[in-house]
C-alpha cells in the first residue's frame, strides 16, 4: 500500500467511498507490465462484477502511465477514455487509439520520465496539417535523406513497374538486445524482405521486391545494427 500513497486504493483504505469499481494492479518488483495479462485481468473483472463495459476508464502514474498507453494502444475498443500520467509509449502504435478520448498529464520538470514521452504519444500517423502543405521528396539512386522521425512523414506502397522503394531501408536505430521478440522480428523482416505490419509501412502489396530483389548483404556494422550479431 505504500506504493499507492496518491491513489484511489489508498483513499479507500482510509474510508473513502466511490460509486464505481476500482481495480489497481501492481507490477511485480523488477519486472515490466505484461499488457496481455492486464487485459486478462480486465476480462476477469468484467465477468465477475457488474461492470458497464461502455464506461471503463484506465489511468496510471509513471510506470502505470506506460501501462495505460500500452493497454489503450493494444485494446482501444475496451475503453471509454484514458488518462495517462507522466508515462510514455510507442508512437508508432498511437494511431490505433485515435478515436479514444485521451487526457494526458505530465510535468514539464519531470526528471524520472521526460515530458517528451507523453508528447511523442500524440497521433503521429494522422497529424493536423491545417494550413500546411505536403512536400514530396524526389530522390535519385544513391541519394541520402536524413530527417527527424518525429516530424510528420510517410511512404507509399510500391506500385512502380521495376523499382525498389526508397523506403526499403534498414533502420539505423540499433536493435535492443534485451528485447528478443523485436530482435527476431527485425531479422525476419530482413531475411524475408517483409515490412513491419504498421500503419506507417504500407509495404509492397504485389511482393515485387520479395520476388525480384535479393536480401541485402550486410556489413559487420549492419549485422550489429539489425540485431543479427551482438555488440559485445
Question: Residue 164: what pLDDT?
Answer: 56
- Which has the higher per-residue pLDDT, 92 or 82? 82
Which of 19-33, 86-100, 214-228 is least confident?
Answer: 86-100
Question: Residue 124: what pLDDT?
Answer: 47
216-230 mean pLDDT: 88
Confirm if 102 and 80 have CB atoms less than 8 A apart. no
Distance from C-alpha of 35 to C-alpha of 58, rounded to nearest angstrom: 13
Place of cell 467511498: 17
Task: Please give the grid coordinates belonging to residue 53.
Answer: 463495459
Radius of gyration of the chain (CA): 22
Residue 81's DSSP bridge partners are: 57
Distance from C-alpha of 40 to C-alpha of 18, rounded to nearest angstrom: 24
CA angle 136, 120, 168 (to 5 degrees): 40
Which of 59-73, 77-91, 121-135, 203-217 is least confident?
Answer: 121-135
124-152 mean pLDDT: 62
What is the DSSP annotation of 173-229? S---TT-HHHHHHHHHHHHHT---SSTT----TT-HHHHHSPPPPP-HHHHHHHTSS
Helical (H) or strand (E) element with 63: helix 63-74
Task: Please give the grid coordinates belonging to residue 222.
Answer: 549492419
206-222 mean pLDDT: 81
For all residues of the chain together, what is the average pLDDT?
A: 75
- Which has the higher per-residue pLDDT, 97 or 173? 97
Question: Residue 19: what pLDDT?
Answer: 83
151-166 mean pLDDT: 57
Q: Is residue 78 exposed (0-12), middle (13-18) or buried (19+ Cβ within 10 Å)?
A: middle
Distance from C-alpha of 57 to C-alpha of 138, rounded to nearest angstrom: 45
Distance from C-alpha of 109 to C-alpha of 115, rounded to nearest angstrom: 8
Question: Residue 46: what pLDDT?
Answer: 93
Tell me the C-alpha to C-alpha distance, in Å, between residue 5 and each of 12, 13, 25, 103, 184: 11, 10, 14, 22, 40
202-217 mean pLDDT: 74
Q: Which residues lie below 8 Å from residue 184, measured CB to CB, with a gap of 6+?
A: 227
Question: Residue 45: what pLDDT?
Answer: 93
Which of 10-19, 85-94, 174-183 is least confident?
Answer: 85-94
Q: 38-83, pLDDT tens digit by residue? A: 899 999 999 999 999 888 998 888 778 888 888 888 898 999 888 8
Q: Which of 33, 27, 21, 24 is nearest to 5 (CA)?
A: 24
Residue ranges of alpha helices (H) inside 89-179 are 116-120
Which of 67-71, 147-151, 179-183 is least confident?
Answer: 147-151
Confirm if 223 and 217 have CB atoms less than 8 A apart. no
Question: Residue 170: what pLDDT?
Answer: 45
Domains and CATH numbers, the chain: 2-120 (3.40.50.1820), 135-232 (no CATH)
Amino acid at each position: 500500500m505504500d506504493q499507492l500513497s496518491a491513489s484511489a486504493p489508498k483513499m479507500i483504505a482510509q474510508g473513502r467511498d466511490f460509486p464505481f469499481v476500482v481495480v489497481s494492479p501492481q507490477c511485480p518488483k523488477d519486472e515490466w507490465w505484461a499488457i496481455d495479462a492486464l487485459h486478462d485481468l480486465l476480462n476477469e473483472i468484467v465477468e465477475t462484477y457488474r461492470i458497464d463495459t461502455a464506461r471503463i476508464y484506465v489511468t496510471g502514474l509513471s510506470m502505470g502511465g506506460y501501462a495505460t498507453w500500452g493497454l489503450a494502444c493494444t485494446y482501444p475498443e475496451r475503453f471509454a477514455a484514458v488518462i495517462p500520467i507522466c508515462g510514455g509509449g510507442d508512437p508508432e502504435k498511437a494511431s490505433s487509439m485515435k478515436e479514444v478520448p485521451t487526457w494526458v498529464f505530465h510535468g514539464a520538470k519531470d526528471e524520472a520520465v521526460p515530458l517528451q514521452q507523453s508528447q511523442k504519444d500524440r497521433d503521429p500517423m494522422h497529424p493536423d496539417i491545417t494550413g500546411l502543405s505536403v512536400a514530396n521528396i524526389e530522390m535519385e539512386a544513391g541519394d541520402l535523406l536524413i530527417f527527424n522521425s518525429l516530424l510528420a512523414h510517410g511512404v507509399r506502397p510500391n506500385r512502380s513497374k521495376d523499382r525498389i522503394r526508397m523506403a526499403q531501408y534498414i533502420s539505423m536505430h540499433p536493435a535492443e538486445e534485451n528485447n528478443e521478440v523485436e530482435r527476431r522480428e527485425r531479422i525476419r523482416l530482413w531475411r524475408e524482405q517483409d515490412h513491419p505490419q504498421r500503419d506507417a509501412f504500407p509495404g509492397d502489396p504485389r511482393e515485387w521486391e520479395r520476388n525480384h530483389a535479393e536480401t541485402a548483404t550486410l556489413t559487420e556494422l549492419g549485422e550489429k545494427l539489425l540485431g543479427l550479431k551482438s555488440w559485445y
